[in-house]
A and B are shown apart, each in its own frame.
Chain A
Amino acid sequence: MNKFFNILFLIIFLNFWLASCTKNTEKFTPYTTAELNDISWSSRTQMPLAKHQAIISALSKQDFTNSFNAAYSDTISINSQLQLMFPANSCLLNGINFLGNVNTSLKQLTSKGDFIRNLTSSCNSNKLYDSKGLFLLSLKDDNSKNITLTNGSEYDLSLVDSNILQGYEYIAGSTNAANPDSIYWALADSLDVGYLVYSSILFNGQFKKAYQIKSKALGWINIAAPIKSMAVTWFNVVLGVSNFTNKNTAVFAVFKDFNTVIKLKSDVASKTFFAENIPVGANINLVSISYIDGLFYLGSQAITVANAIQYSLKSSVVPVSIAGVNAFLEAL
C-alpha cells in the first residue's frame, strides 16, 4: 500500500510542477521617443524656441487688429481702452514711402496672467516696475509684408484709464536674435524712441484721461512705474517633478502687491530656477507652467521672500486643460 501511495504522490507532484510554472506579471515599458520620459536639462538656459512659441500659441489671446490708410493721418480705436494715431505719410515699405492700406496688429498684455501667457517678464529683475500693460504693435500691408515708420515719424498709443496715477514712464522692450524670446526692458530714450504724457483724448466721442505714449519705434511698449527700491535678495526654486526641466517649463515670481511678473532663469548645473534682486519680504506666488506632449502642468506656491533661501515648488503631475490654465492665470 505504501508503494502505491509513493507512486501516486510522485505522479501528482510532477503533474503540479508541470502545470503550475506560471504567475501573474505586469511589465511597464517607457516609450523611447516620448517627451515626458526625457528628464535631461538643456545647456541653453532659455526654453527651446519651438516650445516657447507653442505655449504662446496655445495660451495667448488674439491680437487686436485694425487698419488705416497711410496717405492720411488717422486715429483708430483698438478696443475699449486703446487708441492709435498715425500721421500721414509715415509708413515705409522696403524703404520706400508707402501710401496704401496698412493693417495694424496690437498685442496687449495687461494682467499678470497675460504676462505669463506670453512667457515674458513685465520688467527686468534689476529694476522692478509696476506695469499698466505691455503692448506690441506691428504694421503690415495687405500682402503681410512688414511696414516700418519713416524716420522721425511719431505715432500715439493712448491707454484710457479712469484712475490715472503719476510716475508712469515709457519703458521700451527690445529683443535680439540670440534670445528672441527674451525681452530686455529699459527706459525709452525720449529723443530717439519716445516718451509718455498724461493726456485727455477724444475717445469714442468723449474726452477721457489717458496715458499717452508718443513713440518713434515699433516694438514692445511698457507703461510702468518704478517700484521703490528696497533690500533685495536672490533665491533658487527646485521643482518637485523631475520631468519639468528648462526644456519644457517656465517659472515665474508673481508679485501680489504689484502688477509685476518676473520670469526666473534656469541654472543648468544645479537643475534649478533662480531669481535675483527680489525685494526681501515681498509677497510672491511662485508659478510654474510646463508643456509636455501637448499637455499643460501647473504648480503654485505662495512665499514671503527671505534672504538667500531655496524653495521647493511642488508642481502637479495631473495635466490641466487650456481652459483650466486660463482660469488659473486669470485668478492670479
Chain B
Amino acid sequence: MTDKLFDSFISNKLKNYESPLPDGLWEKIIAEEDKRKPAIIWWKTKQILLLAFAILFTTFSVGYYFNAHRNINNFRALVENKKTIIITNNEKIVIENKENTSNSVEIVNNKKAIKKEKITAKDITEINDNNTSIAASKSKNNLNNNYIISKKITAEKSLQIEDLTANKNNFFIDNKIKNITPTFKLNKKNNPKFRIINDLKSSNYLKNYTKNEPVESKETKITITNHKAFWASTIPLKNDLLHTKKLVNNNVLELKKLFNGTDDCPSTTGVIRNDLYIEGYASPDVAIKKISENTSGNNNYLSKKDSSETMLLGFTIGARLSKSLSNNLLLKAGLQYTQFNEKFTLRTENDRRQTIIINEHTIVRPGLPDTTISDTSFSLQIGYRVRSNINKYKNLEIPLMLSYELSKPESNWQLAINAGAIVNVTSWYEGKTIDANYNPIVVGSKSNNSIYKSQVGISLYGGVTILRKIDEQIAVFAEPYFRYGISNSLQSSTGFTQKFNVIGLQFGARFKINKNKHL
C-alpha cells in the first residue's frame, strides 16, 4: 500500500515532466551541419561555376516553361488527337474550366445520341454516363484553354480507407454519403500529413476544414455533408491542380487500353510525357588537333613536331540520364570517358644497332689438322630508326545537352537534334613527343618532366540522333556529332597550347527506367 502511494506520488510529479535542453544545443547542431558541407573541389574555379550555373539555369528554365504549360499542351494533345475517355462503372469525368470565358469546350458523346455540353467559365461539370466514350473537341475560339480533365472515382456506400504508405497516396471518400462522420486512420509509421482538398471551393461542404488545410497524422474526424466531390492525398499538389497521381488499389483504371497508340498510361488530367531514360553509348572519334603558338620564333619546332604527329581514331564511352521536359524536349547529362589517339613517328638518322653473333673460324695450316674456333662477336649496323609511338590523351568529361525530338514519342523511328556543352573535368596523357632539341622525350603522368600541363576545357556539342525502338523500354540509336573545342585542353612548356575538335558517330542503347510516369 505504501509502495503504491509512493509510486503514485512520483508518477503524479513526473508524468508531464520534460527535461530542459542544454543551452546552445540547437546552435551546435546547425554549426555541425555547416561543417559537414563537403567542398566540391572540381568547381572552385569561378569560370566553371559561372558556366555551370548558366547551363543549368538555361536548361531548367526551359524545363519549367514547358512544365508550366504542359497542361495546356496536354489538353491540346488530347483534343487534337481525338482521344477519348471511356467511363466505366463508378467513374465520373470532371471537367473544370479554369478560364473566364464560356462556351469553351464541347463534350460529345460518341455512342449515344450526340450530347453536347458546354462548360461555362469557372464551371465544374461531371459527366457520368457509364460505358460511353466522350471526346473533347476544341473550342472555336481559343485552343489555349486551361482545363483540367480528370477522372473521379466514387465509391458506393462504404468509406474507403487506404494504407497510406509512401507510395500509396490516395484514397477517396464516397461522395454520396451524407451526414456522416468518417474517421481516417493513417499509417503512423510514415507519419504522413493528410490533406483534404475541396475542389468545389465551397467551405459549406466540409465542416471545420477549408481548402488545402493539412491534417496531422493521427485519428481524424471530419464531417461531410452534401458535398459533390473531393480528393484526398498525402502528396502536396502541384500548382493547385487537382491531380490524382496514382490510383488506389482495386480502382485502377485500365487507361492503357483507352488511348490508341500510346504505350504508357496517361493521367486522368491528360497526356503529359514524364520519361526517364538511361543511355549507354560509345563512339569512334576523329579528332582534329589545333595548336596555337605562344612563343614567337617557335615555327621550326612546331613544324617538326607537326610532321611527327598524326591523329588516329579515338573513342568515347559514356552513360547519361535523359529526362523529358515536355513531349519533345529532353535534358541529358552524364559522364563520359574520351580518348584521343595520336601516332608519334620519329626518324633518327645514323642510329646504330649492335647484335651478338656466333662465328666459326676454320684455320688451315699446312701439315697440321684443321682447327675450328667458335667465337662470340658483336656485329654493328648503322642505319635509320623509325620509332612509332601511340600517344593517348585521356579525358573525363561531363556532357550537358538538350535534345529535341522531331517525331512523336510513341513512334518506332525517331529523329532528334541535340545541342549542348561538354565540360572536360580532368585530363591525363601518356606518350612521346620531341623536346626543343628535336630529341624524343617521354611525356605523361609517370614521367619526371612537365612538358604538358592539362587544363579544364569546354567544348560545344551538336548532333543528330536516329533512334529505333526495340521494345517498350529499349531503343538503340546512332548519333553523328561534332564538338568544337572552345578552350585549350593542354598547355606545353615548349611554347604552344592545344585543343581538339571532334567528329564522331555515337552508337548506343537507351533504357526507359520509369513506367506509367505521366502527369
Contacts and interface: CB of A to CB of B under 8 A. Distances in A.
B380 A317 contact: yes
Main secondary structure of the interface of A (DSSP, over half): mixed
B480 interface: no
Interface string A317-331: 100000000000000
A30 B382 contact: yes
A23 B343 CA distance: 9
B147 interface: no
24 contacts: A4-B280, A4-B511, A12-B317, A14-B507, A16-B282, A16-B315, A19-B284, A19-B339, A24-B388, A24-B389, A25-B388, A27-B386, A28-B351, A28-B381, A28-B385, A36-B382, A37-B382, A236-B361, A238-B373, A270-B362, A270-B363, A272-B373, A310-B361, A317-B378
Contact of A37 (B282, B284, B383, B507): B383
A30 B351 CA distance: 9
Contacts of B283: 15
Query: Contact residue range for chain B?
Result: 35 or more
Given A242-B357, A270-B361, A310-B373, A1 B383 contact: no
A7 B343 contact: no
Contact of B363 (A30, A243, A272): A272
A3 B470 contact: yes
Interface of B: 280-285, 312-315, 317, 339, 341, 343, 351, 353-354, 357, 359, 361-365, 368, 371, 373, 375-390, 470-471, 473-474, 476, 507-509, 511
Interface string A5-29: 0011001101110111011111111
Given A3-B474, A22-B390, A240 B378 contact: yes
A39 interface: yes
Contacts of A238: 359, 361, 373, 375, 377
B385 A34 contact: no
A209 interface: no
Interface of A: 1, 3-4, 7-8, 11-12, 14-16, 18-20, 22-31, 34, 36-37, 39, 234, 236, 238-243, 267, 269-272, 274, 293, 308, 310, 312, 317
Contact of A11 (B382, B383, B384, B508): B508
Contact of B509 (A8, A18, A239): A8
Nearest to A269: B364
Contacts of B361: 236, 238, 270-272, 310
B390 A7 contact: no
Contacts of B379: 39, 241-243
B282 A15 contact: yes
A15 B284 contact: yes
B380 A36 contact: yes
* Top 7 closest pairs, chain A to chain B, by CB: A15-B282, A30-B383, A19-B315, A8-B280, A242-B379, A7-B509, A4-B511
B88 to A, nearest CB: 34
Given A238-B373, A241-B378, A270-B362, A28 B383 contact: yes
Contacts of B509: 4, 7-8, 11
Contact of B508 (A8, A24, A239, A310): A8
A241 B379 CA distance: 6
A243 B382 CA distance: 11
Pick from B282, B285, B313, B368 the residue with the most CB of A within 10 Å: B282
B353 A28 contact: yes
A11 B281 contact: yes
